[in-house]
Structure 1
């Protein structure tokens, strides 16, 4: 596995910094620190942390890319984990039934019964690593690997907002209706995005989510 960051251009006014190694909370906390540092640079318009990566956008195309790449790598090497004292938010979830149409697929892949899957899924305290995919959506870490399930070969054209799903080694909650390739195992009534609020996203990186079992439909 490479120990050097990867930096690639996104058009002429953005670039993507990808951290080496796998996805874990200490690495993500360094991404937060790098974003905090880079957003103070005069040429940077916006620093947007993603899952183990950071996107920088610029008002105009950078003139000295090699120097900028070197500066990013130096800042990454110097970055230390930024710990955020976020909130712990409980999400009531009804597992299975119409709101969890792919629970049977997760059961078939893992060899576990619905009660075991629900117990393993609802046990951790999940850190919010980043926001993305669509407004208000949270990328979470910390799911038990025993319920990891590959993404669906054929994506579902539309799942409702509040759909609780598993995709590979991650779990997440849809903030609005839309297509998805993840396996939906339950649903919550909580709202995650309101453009009239400040900030409009209910959750922020550094917050923690706990899934509270409201019911199991077999």
Structure 2
């Protein structure tokens, strides 16, 4: 497998491998690890296929390091579609800045982040150091899944790399900001969950009445901004009244 950092613009078939998945799908695999460069190639390939709409293509499903391609076997074959995909050319995007960087206000610790003290003890850091590390990282939206609007945000600083909780919670409040392994995430709705809860944001990340229904898109950047209880309450009220615009670095959305 070609290292993503060493890739230059070339045909997809020179850097990926095709793996069969049943009789109407196959995977285009770009690597064997979670890596921003590899993930950028996955989403760029998906975008090119959406634009080109080759005959027989049904849909694509991106993951961290591969793209699942569903096709209609009555309209095309895996071999024909793989030849089409293999002939596409990509520019590497690993060194490029995210197209959008969202600023997400977070109230850390206390009732908003009941696991912050535990995380600090497990990592040998103070709570303030955990907050500074978490908020000081620019995250990439790798994929969305598990719940509508739940984005897997990487890469968490290595010192904060902790396994999931041994006892998952039955109910995690919406807006909970959490970490597990090298990922951070925000629960968009109330649900069970096994990640460590370190804060809470009043923003909404999934609204089926909106287009698109999710705030984030793959490839976006996310930066967490610590706020105090008063600011958190004010933002929550503005969100409830429909008067809050999610912030992007350089201006509002």
Q: Which interval holds the TM-score relative to the shorter structure?
A: 0.7 to 0.9
Matched, 1:28 2:39: yes
2:135 to 109, 122, 128: 122
| Preserved contact between residue 29 and residue 67 of structure 2 (Cα < 8 Å) | yes
The 5 A counterparts of 1:32-51 are: 32-39=43-50, 40=52, 41-51=54-64
| Cα drift, residue 38 of structure 1 | 2.9
1:133-166 CA-to-partner distances (Å, cap 9, x unmatched) read 2211112123211111111233222211111111
> How many angstroms does 1:50 deviate by?
2.2
Q: TM-score, normalised by structure 1?
A: 0.83
The answer to which of 95-104 and 190-199 deviates more is 95-104
What are the equivalent positions in structure 2 for 1:1-218 lying under 5 Å apart?
A: 5=17, 7-9=19-21, 12-39=23-50, 40=52, 41-59=54-72, 64-66=77-79, 68-69=81-82, 72=85, 74=86, 78-82=89-93, 86-215=99-228
Deviations 1:80-137 (A, max 9, x none): 3356863222111111112212223322321111010000000012122222222111
> What RMSD over aligned residues (CA atoms) do the two structures have, in Å?
2.6
Once the two structures are TM-superposed, the CA of residue 170 in structure 1 deviates from its matched residue by 0.8
Unpaired segments of 5 or more residues in structure 2? 3-15, 230-253
Whole-angstrom CA distance in 1 between matches of 2:87 and 2:197: 39
* Equivalent position SS for 1:98: coil
Tell me, what secondary structure is at the counterpart of 1:165?
strand
Query: Structure 1: how far apart are the matches of 2:192 and 2:186?
Result: 13
> Residues 5 and 175 (structure 1 numbering): CA distance in 2 closer, same or farther, change over 3 Å?
farther
Whose Rg is larger?
Answer: 2
Between the two structures, name the one with larger relative contact order (CA 8 Å, sep ≥ 6): 1
Could you tell me whether the CA contact under 8 Å between 1:50 and 1:132 is conserved in 2? no
Mind listing any 5+ residue stretches in structure 1 that lack a counterpart?
none
Q: What is the DSSP-based 3-state SS (H/G/I as helix, E as strand, rest coil) of the residue aligned with 1:150?
A: coil
Matched position secondary structure for 2:106? strand
Write the distance in 1 (CA, Å) between the matches of 2:107 and 2:186.
13
SS in 2 for 1:47: strand
Q: Supply the distance in 2 between the matched residues of 1:145 and 1:161 (Cα, whole angstroms).
A: 26
Give the TM-score of the pair, scaled to structure 2.
Answer: 0.73
In 2, are the aligned partners of 1:6 and 1:19 still within 8 Å (CA)? no
Q: 1:15 to 1:61 in 2, by over 3 A?
A: farther
